[in-house]
Amino acid sequence: MHYGVEEMFFVLSGTPTLRTGDGEEELSPGDVVYCPEGTEGLHVFSNPTDEPVRILGVSTKRVPTSSRIRSRGYAWVATRHPERPVPEGGDPGIIARSRTAERQA
């Protein structure tokens, strides 16, 4: 799940499985999935088939943002866009990963 970012996904080919807080659903080409920010937008895609899957993802990609991967026990924080270079003398910001309570036990 993400905080500060919402996403849309377009299934271009294949039959991926989408897991959300409401359960699992098999998707087909042409399906569109909207994931709002926060726990309401929790999502995981998988491909349980041998057929390749193509999904186009579109994001607001706002910064700062944070993400939490509950199943892996990680949280990410970025106060700047990680793919944009920092200008000389500019603020490098923070891009960090930490463990969350889900996996610390």
Phi, psi dihedrals of residue 101, rounded to the nearest 5°: -60, -25
What is the per-residue pLDDT for 1?
64
- Note the pTM of the prediction, 2 decimals: 0.65
Q: Which tokens hold the place of 25?
A: 């659903």
What is the per-residue pLDDT for 45?
92
| Domain extent listing, the chain | 1-60, 63-105
Measured between alpha carbons, how far is 38 from 53 in angstroms, rounded to an integer?
26
Is the pLDDT assigned to residue 95 strictly greater than 70? Answer: yes
Q: Once rounded to an integer, what is the mean pLDDT over residues 1-20?
A: 88
Per-residue model confidence as pLDDT tens digits over 12-44: 999 999 998 899 999 999 999 998 887 888 888
Please name the fold of domain 1-60.
Jelly Rolls (2.60.120)
- Position 22: which residue type? D
Per-residue model confidence as pLDDT tens digits over 38-75: 788 888 899 999 999 999 998 876 667 777 777 778 77
